[in-house]
Amino acid sequence: MIRIRKRTAARTPAALAGAEPGPEFEITFDGRPLRALPGQSVAAVLWAASVLTWRTTRVNGRPRGAFCGIGSCFDCLVTVNGLPGRRACQLSARPGDVVTTQEGDGHAGLGH
């Protein structure tokens, strides 16, 4: 006999773990306010807002976003609070973070 389990709203990862996220907060991406939850990476916040690319390559200006999602590659680089070269997949979002698209190496106009 095969048992079929009913699907319910309580079968979400948060519900199964008994997790209750803290209050949401706001970050900005290229001037656009985005909602974030404690523990979310910058990449997760961008994905949740349907932002899929946030960097351009140095040579040809091609769009990039998250590729590996574990910090092995460098496709997800963003500028956070004026610091370029931050891996969006590895960096936890913090209230008030100012995230901007990284153009090339991210150092243009920084005096480096």
Q: Is residue 8 part of a domain?
A: no
Q: Is residue 9 part of a domain?
A: no
Query: Which of the four pLDDT bands, split at 50, 70 and 90, describes residue 103?
Result: confident
Number of domains comprising the chain: 1
Q: Is residue 68 part of a domain?
A: yes
Percent of the chain having pLDDT more than 70?
Answer: 83
Look at residue 88 in the predicted model and tell me its pLDDT.
Answer: 94
* Domain interval for residue 33: 22-103
In this predicted structure, the answer to whether residue 3 has a pLDDT above a threshold of 80 is no
**Across the chain, what does the average pLDDT equal?**
84
- The domain that holds 76 is classified in CATH as 3.10.20.440
Q: Is residue 15 part of a domain?
A: no
Q: Is residue 95 part of a domain?
A: yes
Q: Is residue 27 part of a domain?
A: yes
Look at residue 92 in the predicted model and tell me its pLDDT.
Answer: 95
Q: Is residue 33 part of a domain?
A: yes
- 47 versus 110: which is more confidently predicted? 47
| DSSP track, the chain | ----PPP-GGGSHHHHHT------EEEEETTEEEEE-TT-BHHHHHHHTT----EE-TTT--EE--SSSSSSSSTTEEEETTEEEEETTTSBP-TT-EEEPEETTS-TTTT-
In this predicted structure, the answer to whether residue 112 has a pLDDT above a threshold of 50 is no
Q: Is residue 39 part of a domain?
A: yes
In this predicted structure, the answer to whether residue 64 has a pLDDT above a threshold of 90 is no
pLDDT per residue as tens digits for the range 20-54: 878 999 999 999 999 999 999 999 999 999 998 88
